[in-house]
């Protein structure tokens, strides 16, 4: 807060320019510009909220989500590609053309999914 000027037999007064500057530094100025101190405080508050959300389990890091999804997709792909072989083990009499058709359908589905993901990433 700016210094108070006290005179003899006069009411005490603040220097108006000092008060204006002090208010701008404390609250951001009235022209819509934000002071560095205000930006710093807002950034600290935003960071604290993110850290609290993460500790509460409400937020997770993007890298963790990407890692888990990558592992899940790889596992899914591996299991789907194994279906024709597992089918042949369980049903040895299944004709080869049927196994080839199942394999073709699974590969086509995986390609469609991959292509859709590529389009989604391109448009993001």
Chain segment 10-57, per-residue pLDDT in tens = 656 667 777 777 777 777 555 556 678 878 888 999 999 999 998 999
Q: State residue 3's pLDDT score.
A: 55
CA distance between the termini of the chain:
48
Chain segment 44-94, per-residue pLDDT in tens = 999 999 999 989 999 888 999 999 999 999 999 999 999 999 999 999 999
Give 100's pLDDT tier (boundaries 50, 70, 90): very high
**Cα–Cα distance between 86 and 103 in angstroms, integer?**
11
**Cα–Cα distance between 73 and 63 in angstroms, integer?**
15
Q: Which residues pair with 5 in a beta bridge?
A: 13
Domain spans in the chain, listed from the N-terminal domain onward: 1-59, 61-124
Token duo for residue 89: 């083990």
Q: Using CA of residue 35, residue 41, residue 42, residue 44, what is the dihedral sign?
A: positive
pLDDT at 1 over 60: no
pLDDT at 118 over 90: no
């Amino acid at each position: 807060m700016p210094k108070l000027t006290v005179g003899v037999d006069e009411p005490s007064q603040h220097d108006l320019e000092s008060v204006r500057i002090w208010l701008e530094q404390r609250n951001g100025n009235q022209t819509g510009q934000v002071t560095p101190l205000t930006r710093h405080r807002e950034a600290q508050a935003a960071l604290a909220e993110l850290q609290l959300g993460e500790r509460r389990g409400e937020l997770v890091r993007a890298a963790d989500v990407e890692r888990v999804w990558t592992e899940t997709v790889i596992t899914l792909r591996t299991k789907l590609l194994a279906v024709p072989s597992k089918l042949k083990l369980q049903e040895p009499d299944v004709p080869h053309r049927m196994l080839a058709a199942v394999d073709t359908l699974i590969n086509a589905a995986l390609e469609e999914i991959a292509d859709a993901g590529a389009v989604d990433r391109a448009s993001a």
